[in-house]
Chain A
């Protein structure tokens, strides 16, 4: 054994390493293959899931996809049922979620990073928000039922799209705040200091330098948070999304925001619990539909990131 601190020892060690054949690094090779195995396992699971959904839902996806996408739920038979109400309901709910969650979430993040900075208060608030992000969605459903459906029912009209959207807004708000905080913190201080240095006011620094620089990350985080909201079923069922027959009578598009609704994940839940194999086909097909929808939203996030991304 050589002593590392002497030049001669270091040279001897280096020579040892050089003499090793590539096959001698067994631990390294094992580790590499473990990592490859984990990756294959993870993506394989996703692949199998996707394949099972497509195979199970093939009768609907290949046969009457258009009918499936443009018709509502019917108890009469699986073949007469579609997911149009779920798609529209999900988009409506996501819109309301965005209306409430995005401005509040981004504003909170700007305050925490740019105004409250590293104060004790800001740290406590941020810690709480991070904890809230880990609260199970069903808890937000209970909150939504108690507050948005029952307490402020004069505004939400009870179990309406607005109540559902506000519930999901509460659910994704912590995620939006956290991603926005990270985005703002990632903006280098040198940028702020340079702006202040040439005499810019705080408003000018924020609106012309910091926000544009953080925009792509904020947008990406926001869109991903909305995609998560798109996939939630449990809280919506709790706040009264219709699992059964739904019709809008003569209500117009705007009135439906204060009326009953359903959402794609809720419809999948409903298809999956009905008796008979043909409903299972609908559940699988609806799962593919929601996957495509979420994929489209994530694609939008990637586009926005590339469009507005800044390199430092």
Chain B
């Protein structure tokens, strides 16, 4: 008898644990359904509130809509907004969402940044109302989304320059042309261990070489990254396609596979900073924030060497720049919380966060186009 009693206590504890787990599971389950009811009721209540009575597409209109929302239904605005997609655009969305949530504490936010392609995939699966991309949506992605019965509204929200970088200590390189970049990074550069290995190819392409014989260590984003896609499209594609037509280059691969690929921009920065004759590319914000350890190489896109600065990127003088996009599910554009949020994002105040995140504002024509797309609920690719 004495031997059994501690055993019994043990069994009771185990049973109690199992029971409590089961109870919590049941609670979660029932909470689940009641939450759904509550959510629907909340949405219905806020739909009745006069959140949108403005349909013109000018700057002031967008701004006043946001202001009206502030004044009238600050308290009643609720709902939840989840945003995914490009990790490059994510900081902009974060800053806009934080400022918006300060005014509208009832709106729940969830922002993630797995990558542009992941954003379009999530949209295709109907998982998110808003998704970001650091490149324009591809035809195949648009087909997938439309095929799922979803129409999207396309907005440009800012510009990101892609900076070609090397170590701050490297004084052998100041300016590179697209031909130079192809001869160092393109598919035909497979196996080049030193900068000077590229000299023959560079001379054939009419580049600015010859280069010195420093060890060529390349650090750059991997294939899943929008920065990778944009760099190929803007900096390498013209030269590469010419080489394919002449029968020199592989038609499937624009970039040499033997480089250090990373999805983490800080890893790229570390690699660049740690190797004197390194070469790579990252978004302008990252390069700009690390000017103490990396050097931003000037780029010659055919009109002379240009250094990346906010001014040269906005004016398109700097040749490697890309637009940042936000896409919205048109069916959810009338949701009061989403409408107020996007209104705020496109307002003059919302656009200041593009700069705060390290990017460059759109020129007025593009911004006006985004605003009119939004206010007219224009769907499809418009840029």
Contact = CB atoms under 8 A, between A and B. Distances in A.
Interface of A: 73-76, 95-96, 98-100, 102-103, 106, 149-150, 155, 157-159, 162, 207-209, 211-213, 215, 218, 237-238, 240-251, 254-255, 257-261, 272-276, 280, 308
A204 to B, nearest CB: 11
B7 A260 contact: no
Contact of A257 (B13, B31, B125, B266): B31
B105 A249 contact: yes
A238 B224 CA distance: 14
Given A242-B110, A258-B31, A275-B289, A103 B21 contact: yes
B17 to A, nearest CB: 7
A273 B11 contact: no
Given A245-B94, A245-B109, A273-B87, A260 B21 contact: no
B265 interface: yes
A218 B111 CA distance: 38
Given A242-B111, A249-B78, A254 B31 contact: yes
26 contacts: A74-B98, A76-B98, A95-B24, A96-B28, A99-B25, A102-B17, A149-B127, A212-B7, A212-B9, A213-B7, A218-B14, A237-B114, A240-B127, A242-B112, A244-B93, A246-B109, A246-B110, A246-B111, A247-B108, A249-B106, A249-B108, A254-B27, A254-B31, A254-B35, A259-B108, A272-B264
A78 B367 CA distance: 30
Contacts of A245: 93-94, 97-98, 101, 109, 111
Nearest to A249: B108
Interface residues of B, number: 60
B84 interface: yes
B169 interface: no
Interface of B: 4, 6-11, 13-14, 17-18, 21-22, 24-25, 27-29, 31-32, 35-36, 38, 78-80, 82-84, 87, 90-91, 93-95, 97-98, 101, 105-114, 125, 127, 264-266, 269, 285-286, 289-290, 357-358
A267 to B, nearest CB: 12
B281 to A, nearest CB: 15
B80 A244 contact: no
Contact of A275 (B14, B35, B265): B265
Nearest to B83: A244
Nearest to B8: A208
B18 A249 contact: no
A252 B69 CA distance: 24
B285 A208 contact: no
Given A75-B95, A255-B35, A259-B108, A103 B18 contact: yes
Contacts of A149: 127
Given A157-B32, A237-B112, 4 more contacts: A249-B105, A259-B110, A272-B266, A276-B289
Contacts of B107: 247, 249
Contacts of A272: 264, 266
